[in-house]
A and B are shown apart, each in its own frame.
Chain A
Amino acid sequence: MSATPTLERAEAAPHEPDTQVSNEVATPRTRTVARRALFWIVLVLVLLTLVVTGLVLAGSGPSTERLSATNAHPVGAKALIEVLKQDGVAVAAPRSLRSAIADVSANPTTTTLVLYDQSSILTASQLTRLSSVASDLVVIEPSFTALRALAPSISAAGFAPSRASAGCDFGPAQLAGSLSGLGKWYRVDSNVDSTTCFGSKGAYSLVRVAGPDGTVTVLGSTTILTNQSITQSGNAALALGLFGANNHLVWYLPSFADAPAMPTGGIPAPTWVPLLAALLGLVVVAAAFWRGRRFGAIVIERMPVVVRASETLEGRARLYQKASARTHALDALRIGTLDRLAKLCGLPTRATLDDIVGAVASHTGRPLDEVRSLLVDETPTGDAHLVRLSDDLADLEKEVAKATRPS
């Protein structure tokens, strides 16, 4: 068979022993892949649907916000609202300014508007719009901005003791007698006609003043209205009296949808910029697929174990050095030197130390004591000394080799 391109038909397969023929395809067909993946695609779709449905349901479920009309948790106000409803008060719980105004405007004279702006979302102008429609406005723990906008004659006066008695002639307050769980105190300008309860010496937790469009009541506590504390002391009496005064109640807790949009600056971008960004994303994905697509399966190979033989040697050397085992190291060097010296001097393997020392001394002409001290007795005092001794040993070896070499 030739190695050049041939025109012979496929049927003319050669019959050589070292030729292997195969046309079994390892890559699955597209429809096989699709069929295998079908289960997972369906599974993912079902899971997605479940998650989305769950999220939607959870979003419309009872909230966990403080004083929310639908919150049955200890910090909610569902108990109060439910009781008010049973008493025949029509309760609306809008979450946006627009619907709150709409709810109030439906029955402007017979509606109590309750505002609790926990996160100080509303701006002064929004608050003014709100107060202009409400004839009976109850503000719970207002912020500085809210006080300025709704009742400029009232100002904050610090924290109140948790328990207080009415001490005024306002009906619901008298009914309640005393409250527990109060939060803040407010002060009223002395030249303004006002009703002040639950406090003393000019600082009160409940202040009623007549505004330009109706009465404004400031209540300095959220705790007394919560599901947890509404049953304590006269809390319930005050709340029902305060909020059940009219036939309609609008329980308005502003949400972030009411927050004014942040102003954007600069020149408006051309319309194609986001499109180009999208295209860039697509190109990146395509490029990733182009470069990332493997040309066949990864080839696996078992690698042999690699162990360097001199590893124990290096390890031992480092161990000697770390422990400063000078005597130990020198002993090893001396034993090796003695072995070679014995061979050089032609001594038998059983020769004693004294034999070797004697033979070396006679060959080199060095004094016996000096040779003995170098080969046996001297102990190294430091690393420098060790290096010097090792050099001396090497020199001695060379000297003996020179002396014993046949000339």
Chain B
Amino acid sequence: MAITGWFVALLALGAVPTIAIGQPLALVAWVVLVLLLAGLDLVLAGSARAVRIQRILPQRVRLGETVRSELLVTNLGRRAIHGLVRDAWQPSAGASTTRHPLSIPAGERRSFSTSLTPFRRGERRSANVTIRTFGPLHLAARQASIVAPGAIRVLPPFNSRKHLPSRLAQLRELDGRTSVMIRGQGTEFDSLREYVRGDDVRSIDWRASARRTDPVQGGPSLVVRTWRPERDRRVVIVIDSGRTSAARIDREPRIDTAYESALLLAALASRAGDHVDLVIFDRRVRGRVQGATGADLMSRLVDTMSPIEPELIEMDWSAVPGLVRSITSQHALVVLATSIDSPGSARGLLAALPQLTRKHTVVVSSVTDPTVLQATRERADRTQVYRAAAAERAMLDIARVSTAIRQLGADVVTGAPADLPPALADRYIALKASGRL
């Protein structure tokens, strides 16, 4: 039950008879009259319970995109209902409006559409739909909440997909190169083709040339071997969802940057024919994608990532080598998406690295804060000089940890939030080109 402003106004209007008559009975009579009218209104109002709610809702949406949420309300009661309907979306679902005026004759159905522009990753829900129906006098209303769970999964935005075409083009250029461009054990023999000027003479396959005659001139022609990058390598991405990943850099949590990098790398690697596995880990496995390929891989990745937020606990690096071992026993490219801060907090990472580098190629990717670099340059007054000193100190710490990581045989990729995903993709391409996968 609810009352309207008209009820309050009507009650306040009782001042007129009260002053005019000046007897307590006038006031009592007025209050009783208003209550009776409200009661009558309540009885005459259509039932807010006799409705059926249907939702038409897409299951997923990328962060930053807009979708339409349809709410179909069927009036199952005997009377028409007039009033308001509220679809209780969570605030971060970014609903354009959550309340709609409602007017449905008995037995009919109306649709209400809301546009949702979620501004936070994860699962956004609306548990109930509340309906308030007014009586003909608009004094009182009936109200009921109907359980109508609706949920929409907000996926990471994958803004870095704009870098994908250029990186795929680089990847294609690796195909069909001769050994002058690519040397290493990791490359595979691909095919034979005719010699063109500029090819390395060392890659001429003399036996094949001897067997072959030029179809046009009839004379002998030279044939060179071509190579292509290895396929079916393994890429294991470990994302740190611990305490340090909650920090925001450029209004983006570190873990979101890690997701962006992981998505770009996975898209690239799966096109290049490699297997990508993902683990999101702090002290326990928060999310895991294993054995997925092609389009399925990307959708499973974003689905897994979407609800996971960092937790305020320390990352357990000692469990990571075992985790990687459980995923693959082969040599793999292990990408650790974490943060390189200070020697103190990186101790766990540094302790676990030797076990990983012994068998795998390891890349540590970390977001750097552009404001730190900027702070070193601002030295106008005393406060800023001290700030610059602190920033220099922080950069020195990062440099020391990076050096230690490199000494342990792993690779370091750092960058600002916008630059890290393409930087990691480039590192992958470079590793692939040199056959170190």
Contact = CB atoms under 8 A, between A and B. Distances in A.
A22 B146 contact: yes
A270 B22 CA distance: 8
Given A3-B111, A387-B382, A296 B130 contact: yes
Interface stretch (B191-199, B389-397, B426-434): B389-397
B91 A299 contact: yes
Interface string A128-161: 0000000000000000000000000000000000
Contacts of B312: 305
B38 to A, nearest CB: 10
B88 A297 contact: yes
Given A304-B246, A394-B379, A316 B396 contact: no
Interface string B328-341: 00000000000001
B92 A333 contact: no
Interface string B279-308: 000000000000000000000000000000
B54 A310 contact: no
A296 B19 contact: no
Interface in A284-337: 286-287, 289-290, 293, 295-297, 299-301, 304-310, 312-314, 316-318, 320-321, 328-330, 332-333, 335-336
Contacts of B55: 19-20
Interface residues of A, number: 74
Interface stretch (A10-18, A59-67, A78-86, A235-243): A10-18
A301 B93 CA distance: 10
Given A10-B52, A313-B372, A283 B11 contact: yes
A317 B389 contact: yes
Contacts of A283: 8, 11-12
A336 B253 CA distance: 27
B5 interface: yes
Contacts of B132: 295
A250 B148 CA distance: 79
B309 interface: yes
A4 B111 CA distance: 7
Contact of A335 (B143, B391, B392): B392
Nearest to B20: A272
Contacts of A262: none
Contacts of B12: 279, 283
A244 to B, nearest CB: 55
A307 B387 CA distance: 19
Interface string A260-274: 000000000011100
A218 to B, nearest CB: 52
Contacts of A313: 369, 371-372, 375, 387, 390-391, 394
A332 B4 contact: no
Interface in A13-34: 13-14, 16, 18-27, 29-30
A335 B148 CA distance: 62
A391 interface: yes
B51 interface: yes
Nearest to B109: A6
Interface in A204-257: none
Most buried by B among A14, A276, A330: A276
Contacts of B408: none
A320 to B, nearest CB: 5
Contacts of A5: 108-111
B415 to A, nearest CB: 14
A383 interface: yes
Interface residues of B, number: 97
A332 to B, nearest CB: 4
Nearest to A331: B389
Contacts of B392: 332-333, 335-336
B70 interface: yes
B148 A295 contact: no
B235 to A, nearest CB: 27
Contacts of B391: 313, 317
A278 B25 CA distance: 13
B403 to A, nearest CB: 9
Contacts of A304: 120, 246, 253, 309-310
Contact of A314 (B111, B113, B129, B387): B387
A33 to B, nearest CB: 10
B86 A282 contact: no
Given A287-B8, A295-B84, A295-B143, A310 B369 contact: yes
A24 B4 contact: no
Contact of A328 (B19, B376, B385, B389): B389
A126 B202 CA distance: 136
Contacts of A316: 390, 393-394
A3 B115 CA distance: 14
Contacts of B276: none
A10 B107 contact: yes
Contacts of A364: none
B11 A22 contact: no
Given A282-B31, A329-B386, A332-B396, A295 B86 contact: yes
A297 B128 contact: yes
Interface string B379-423: 101110111111111111001000000000000000000000000
Contacts of B26: 275
A390 interface: yes
Nearest to B395: A336
A278 B11 CA distance: 12
A152 to B, nearest CB: 51
Nearest to B121: A304
Given A279-B18, A307-B247, A286 B388 contact: no
Nearest to A283: B12
B387 A21 contact: no
B311 to A, nearest CB: 8
Interface string B51-62: 111111111000
B271 interface: no
Interface string B34-76: 0000000000000001011111111100000000001010111
B147 interface: yes
A22 B52 contact: yes
Given A290-B3, A290-B5, A309-B369, A296 B128 contact: yes
A-B pairs with the 6 shortest C-beta distances?
A296-B130, A329-B389, A336-B392, A317-B390, A309-B247, A316-B390
6 contacts: A20-B150, A23-B146, A24-B146, A304-B310, A307-B248, A387-B382
Interface of B: 1-5, 7-8, 11-12, 14-15, 18-19, 22-24, 26-27, 31, 49, 51-59, 70, 72, 74-76, 84, 86, 88-92, 99, 107-111, 113, 120, 126-130, 132, 143-150, 246-249, 253-254, 309-312, 341, 369, 371-372, 375-377, 379, 381-383, 385-396, 399
Given A296-B88, A333-B392, 17 more contacts: A5-B109, A5-B110, A10-B76, A20-B54, A20-B149, A24-B147, A272-B22, A275-B18, A275-B22, A276-B19, A290-B8, A293-B2, A295-B99, A295-B130, A299-B88, A314-B390, A339-B396
